[in-house]
Structures are given as C-alpha cells and as structure tokens.
Amino acid sequence: MEHLGTYLIVAILALIVISNVYATFVVAKTYFEIKQRRLYQILFIWLVPVIGAALAIYLNLENYFEQKRSTQIGNHPNITDAQAVTLAATDR
C-alpha cells in the first residue's frame, strides 16, 4: 500500500513531463515572425508545467489551423475546423 503513493507520484510526474514535451514540440513546429516568442513560450511551458503546456498547445494549434486555412484548398479561408484538422493530420 505504501508503494501506491510512490507510483501515483511517478505517474503524475510522467504525465506532466509528457505533456510538456508535447507542448514543446507543438511550439517548436509553429511558425513565428518573432523568433524569441518560441523561446518565451517554451520557458513558460517548463516553468508553469500544467497550465503552461495546456495554454501553449491550445494557442499554437489554433494558430496552426489558421495558417492551414489560409494556405490550403486553393487559398480559400473558409474551410471548417474538421477540414483543418484533417489537413493538419496529413501534413505530418
């Protein structure tokens, strides 16, 4: 029973690290006109782990989908979110 607490702490830490790594990846692949923005977002992710990762993922995926909408399907800006998700998934 005493090992259960240890496993729980390790599992929580693992989830935090995995979410931070994923958020860092999302920020790293997002295009920024100001290059320091990427550095600041990555620092925010690792200094404020759960909230920083969730916020960075949300904001950068929204930005990524907006970029997809403006560049895909004959530069037609009015595609749906589902179409943007499909295009983003096939872009990898």
Model pLDDT, residue 28 = 86
> Who has greater pLDDT, 40 or 2?
40
Give the other-Cβ count within 10 Å of 12's Cβ: 11
pLDDT digits (tens, 9 = 90+) for 13-32: 999 999 999 999 888 888 77
pLDDT digits (tens, 9 = 90+) for 37-70: 889 999 999 999 889 999 888 888 777 666 666 6
Model pLDDT, residue 81 = 72
pTM listed for this prediction = 0.64
Model pLDDT, residue 86 = 74
Model pLDDT, residue 34 = 81
Tokens representing 86 are 């499909």
DSSP per residue, 19-66: HHHHHHHHHHHS--SSHHHHHHHHHHHHHSHHHHHHHHHHHHHHHHHH
